[in-house]
A and B are shown apart, each in its own frame.
Chain A
């Protein structure tokens, strides 16, 4: 088995008196598709935000692609990472947010090309060629010159996916990417993600409440509760034969709320 591309070693995260993650360890293989499920406040989104360096950690170590995320080699061992190190580490990771977070003052094309041009020194011409390919892939080739405010939620989210992909990350993080969408727009976003999962060898971590999608998409499902991984396994094991009572209770509630499994 290859070396894990993500290795979290007993990490904890506290906000004041509130413990969000409690000595959590997790390893992800390159190319693996991971679904993180669980009640809100269970810490699953925090995992993604830590990997994207949007949150720091209170304790433990995170290793991405063989290097420490929040630490770097310094005098006498590891020292806290500086901005340059974080910048270096972030080149491997992309993230798609629940609320898209497109730049409202930039066209769809500019949203996608901005970061490649600024952070990777790609020429505008090359960046636009790639952006148009990505727009083609997410089914929005005709929206390149639209402004975000002219798009539907599903279209915005597909642009956001294209924008993250434009930086060619090894790891993609999807944080409840369909939760803010009207029900009829969910499928178009999920279709894009299905294609991504089938056609690329990117490592993907997905926080979701779409259990049916998690089942089809993931190689492995992690059930979170109160800052810990309560149960993990293949989708069939978790969704059909959950062993832990908390997992069973959670899935029952989700089904009762009308989500498909």
Chain B
């Protein structure tokens, strides 16, 4: 009899994985956009980035999700539950990521920027070929943390009728009266997903830090 219930939980796990993957992808894109905007020479872009980061860090994901799903339709933007979930999670975590991007870029020693000037590289070339390749290894560990935070934050989407893993576990619990089995199962599943993320990030880390071992030159 348990296989049917477990199947329900696995269906929820697929939703959770989708939200995590798509949300992280959006968060990453937004983090770079906002993080680079924060360091722009145009004050309007900097201001926009600050407003975005402070707003999304300063309000709860629960409230943000509510607005994206229930209030945006009044402005003519109706989203599917999954779209709304990805949008809210991505924007929320992206705000944290933006600070990581900014910090990583600023942690690259000033001398590297000066070498770029001396070699007459343009702004974009400097970022693309010199600064970001050195900043990325500094950002990755925190990106990994953010992605795991996002994974654990996905449970809020039951607010907008998405049947994620936690929601499904509650259904199973109410149907069977057992708490241990559904919640034991999702405990393992969350842990496994988090493990995949941290292992994946570690793998990428190892790739991008190749050659950066030892002292900076």
Report A's interface with B, CB cutoff 8 A: 52-54, 83, 87, 90-91, 93-95, 97, 99-107, 114-115, 118-119, 147-149, 151, 156, 163-164, 167
Contact = CB atoms under 8 A, between A and B. Distances in A.
Contacts of B212: 104-105, 149
Contacts of A87: 120, 122
The 5 closest A-B pairs by CB, nearest first: A148-B217, A101-B115, A115-B119, A149-B214, A95-B118
B129 interface: yes
B215 interface: yes
A97 to B, nearest CB: 7
A33 B197 CA distance: 58
A90 B118 CA distance: 7
A149 B119 CA distance: 20
A98 to B, nearest CB: 9
Interface string B43-78: 000000000000000000000000000000000000
Contacts of A106: 211
B120 A167 contact: yes
Nearest to B114: A54
A114 B122 CA distance: 12
Nearest to B214: A149
Contacts, number: 78
Nearest to A101: B115
29 contacts: A52-B117, A52-B118, A54-B114, A54-B117, A54-B118, A87-B120, A87-B122, A95-B118, A97-B111, A97-B115, A99-B111, A101-B115, A104-B212, A104-B216, A104-B217, A105-B134, A105-B212, A107-B211, A114-B121, A114-B130, A115-B119, A118-B129, A119-B122, A119-B125, A147-B211, A149-B214, A149-B215, A164-B118, A167-B120
A52 B111 CA distance: 13
A103 B112 contact: yes
Contacts of A114: 119, 121, 129-130
Nearest to B213: A149
Contacts of A119: 119-122, 125
Contacts of B216: 104
Contacts of A115: 119-121
A99 B110 CA distance: 12
B217 A167 contact: no
B133 interface: yes
Interface in B179-217: 211-217
Contact of A105 (B115, B121, B211): B211
Nearest to A149: B214
Interface in B92-112: 111-112
Contacts of B133: 105
B184 to A, nearest CB: 45
Given A118-B125, A149-B211, A149-B213, A103 B115 contact: yes
A164 to B, nearest CB: 7
A148 B216 CA distance: 8
A164 B134 CA distance: 21
Interface in B125-162: 125, 129-130, 133-134
Interface centre among A101, A114, A119 (most CB of B within 10 A): A101
Interface centre among A93, A94, A99, A103 (most CB of B within 10 A): A103
B107 to A, nearest CB: 13
B217 to A, nearest CB: 4
Given A115-B120, A167-B119, 18 more contacts: A52-B118, A53-B117, A54-B114, A54-B118, A90-B117, A91-B120, A93-B118, A97-B114, A99-B111, A101-B217, A103-B134, A104-B134, A104-B217, A118-B125, A119-B119, A119-B120, A119-B121, A149-B212
